[in-house]
Structure 1
Amino acid sequence: MYNILVEVTTWYLEMLDPKQLRSSAPGDYQLRIEQAKIPSPEFSHFLYSSVGGKYYWIDRLSWNKERWHNYPNRPELETWVAYISGTPAGYIELEMQPQENAEVAYFGILPQFIGQRLGGHLLSVGVKRAWEIGAKRVWVHTCSLDSPHALANYQARGFQIYKQEVRTQQLPNRPISPWLGAYASKIL
């Protein structure tokens, strides 16, 4: 299953002051952003695989249901979900860490909602929330496998690159998908 070697660049970005945040307004749609307060392994798995499947988010695929349940059921983690007209459209996970760091652990938009100015707005709301819950530093990492708009979105919101790494990574011959054949083309 893992038979493609690719060179992956990872960028680590940070924001050190709430004044650095350059918020983005939402598009013209019926939007609600709400915290997911009840851990649901099925919903967490849905968000992760639906948002990240196209981008080779594979780190959590080996998790069992108990781990999917326990991960969001921690006081240091908040999951915020964007809904457009009642349909989940994207999410952001904020994890408080030692020394008052807040990591944007996962963030993304479901494929059908990309290009509707939701990503910039959801990220703005998430970063603002990180400052509200006591962060002294907000950080995130993204890589060349993520959406081609990810790095630009982080920088547009005010994040600054503080570290960059390049590594070779072994990947499946095609992205994961929410259903059989959703992403039929290979990466190369």
Structure 2
Amino acid sequence: MSLSDGFHDVPPGKVAAVVTHLEMRAPADVRPAPTLAGMTLRRVAAPSSDWYKDLFRRVGAEDWLWFSRLRMEDTALKAIIADPRVHIYTLIREGVDEGLLELDFREAGECELAFFGVSKNLIGTGAGRFLMNHAIEKAWKEPIIRFHVHTCTLDSPQALPFYIRSGFTPTRQQVEIADDPRLSGLLGANAGPHVPVFR
């Protein structure tokens, strides 16, 4: 179905986002990143769902309305994050997990940058650039021909230009409509303050 030109109402209780898909067909050059004293990157094999959801919330849920993984039943979530073809990394500062990098190799010949971000404690420190350099390096160490990601207008406005600067090329856009997670109590009423609630 294609949308006609013009405005389209978003039903009450829903949120709408424009989703941009991007891809990289060859390894991009890594961009200079600061040396991050006291920070380490660690792979977490088969993390517990509680650990994963806590980090997911702190990186993306409260500010940017990340909610897809929080809606999942634990068995479905565990099936993804325990899969050996899904590589999950955390960026640690002073013993606290502050960044999430999730590389999904379940599709042969491809890697999806499934989730990527740092907590508000690291925004502006260069940690995102550091994490992206590792994402590019680790993705292309595997036998892939395509590295892809998508972002949307619910996310940080810095996300899309950051991905483009990192070497990803936009390939298509979609409109996504979903139940507002703040109305069900999945996220707090003050989450995603840049997105209005329509009851």
TM-score normalized with structure 1 length? 0.85
Tell me if structure 2 keeps the 8 A contact 1:3–1:172: no
1:81-96 equivalent positions in 2, closer than 5 A: 81-96=90-105
Greater mean deviation of Cα atoms: 137-146 or 167-176: 167-176
Report if aligned partners of 1:3, 1:173 keep a CA contact under 8 Å in 2: no
Distance in 2 separating the partners of 1:26 and 1:164: 32
Alignment partners' CA distance in 2, 1:87 and 1:6: 32
- Tell me the equivalent position of 1:56: 65
1:37 aligns with 2:42: no
Q: Partners of 2:72 and 2:186 in 1: how far apart?
A: 15
Residue 84 of structure 2 corresponds to residue 75 of structure 1: yes
Larger relative strand fraction: 1
Whole-angstrom CA distance in 2 between matches of 1:134 and 1:25: 26
Instruction: Deviation per CA, 1:13-52: give whole Å up to 9, x if none.
Output: 111111x233341354321011002421111111222212
For 1:94 and 1:172, the matched residues in 2 are separated by 25
Which amino acid letter does the alignment assign opposite residue 44 of structure 1? Y
2:184 maps to 1:187? no
Letter in 2 for 1:135: I
**What is the aligned partner in structure 2 of residue 103 from structure 1?**
112
Structure 2 residue 168 is matched with structure 1 residue 159: yes
**Structure 1 segments of 4+ aligned residues over 6 angstroms from their partners:** none
Between the aligned partners of 1:57 and 1:89, the Cα distance in structure 2 is 16
Range moving further from structure 2, 103-112 or 49-58 = 49-58
Letter in 2 for 1:104: L
In angstroms, what is the RMSD of aligned CA positions? 2.5
Decide whether aligned partners of structure 1 residues 74 and 116 sit closer, same or farther in structure 2, where only a CA change above 3 A counts: same
- Structure 2 residue runs without a partner (length 5+): 1-10
Q: Using the TM superposition, give the Cα deviation of residue 130 of structure 1 relative to its aligned residue in structure 2, in angstroms.
A: 0.5
Highest CA radius of gyration, 1 or 2?
2
The Cα shift of 1:4 comes to: 4.2
**TM-score when scaled to structure 2?**
0.80
Given that 2:86 and 2:106 are in contact with CA atoms closer than 8 Å, whether structure 1 keeps it comes out as no
**Counterpart in 2 of 1:22?**
30
Q: Alpha carbons of 1:131 and 1:168: their partners in 2 closer, same or farther (altered >3 Å)?
A: same
Q: Give the CA deviation at 1:3.
A: 4.3
- Contact 1:109/1:118 (CA < 8 Å) preserved in 2? yes
Distance (Å, rounded) in 1 between the aligned partners of 2:145 and 2:194: 41
Q: Is the 8 A contact 1:5 1:170 kept in 2?
A: yes
Cα distance between partner residues in 2 of 1:146 and 1:77: 22
Structure 2 counterpart of 1:41, one-letter code: S
Structure 1: unaligned runs, 5 residues or longer: none
More deviation, 122-131/92-101: 92-101
Report the Cα offset of residue 127 of structure 1. 1.7
Q: Does 1:131 align with 2:124?
A: no
